Amino acid sequence: MDILFKKTKLKILIWCIEDWTSLFSISSFVEEFYRYEDPELIKVTSLAIIKKLLDEDLVKAGELLLDDNIFIPWDMTTDEILAKIRVAWDSLGRELYPHEIVWFEITEKGKKEFEYLNSLPELKETNLFYFDGEIKDILNIIKPHGYLIGKKSSNNSIRLIQKRKSESLKIFNKLTENGKIIYKTDKKIISKLSDNLYVIYRPNSKLGLANIDIRARDFSRNLKLKIGDHYE
| DSSP-based three-state secondary structure for 8 | helix
Mean pLDDT in residue range 53-79: 93
The mean predicted confidence, pLDDT, of the chain is 86
Beta sheet of 103-106, edge-to-edge order: 21-22, 103-106, 59-65, 70-73
For the whole model, what pTM was predicted?
Answer: 0.81
Q: CA angle, 153 as apex, 187 and 49 as ends, to 5°?
A: 75
Fold type of domain 1-124: NMB0513-like (1.10.3510)
- Window from 2-11, 22-31, 140-149, 183-192 with minimum mean pLDDT: 140-149
Q: Work out the average pLDDT over 73-98.
A: 95
DSSP code string of 61-112: EEEEETTTTEEEE--S-HHHHHHHHHHHHHHT-SPPPTT-S-EEEE-HHHHH
Q: What would the mean pLDDT of 98-115 be, rounded to a whole number?
A: 94
- For 3-48, write each residue's pLDDT tens digit: 999 999 999 999 999 889 999 999 989 988 888 889 999 999 999 9
Q: Where in the chain is the domain with CATH 1.10.3510?
A: 1-124
Burial class of residue 204, CB neighbours in 10 A (0-12, 13-18, 19+) = middle
Contact 64, 211 (CB under 8 A): no
Looking at residue 194, its amino acid is: S
Give the range among 1-10, 49-58, 147-156, 207-216 with minimum mean pLDDT.
147-156
pLDDT band, very low/low/confident/very high, at 232 (cuts 50, 70, 90): very low
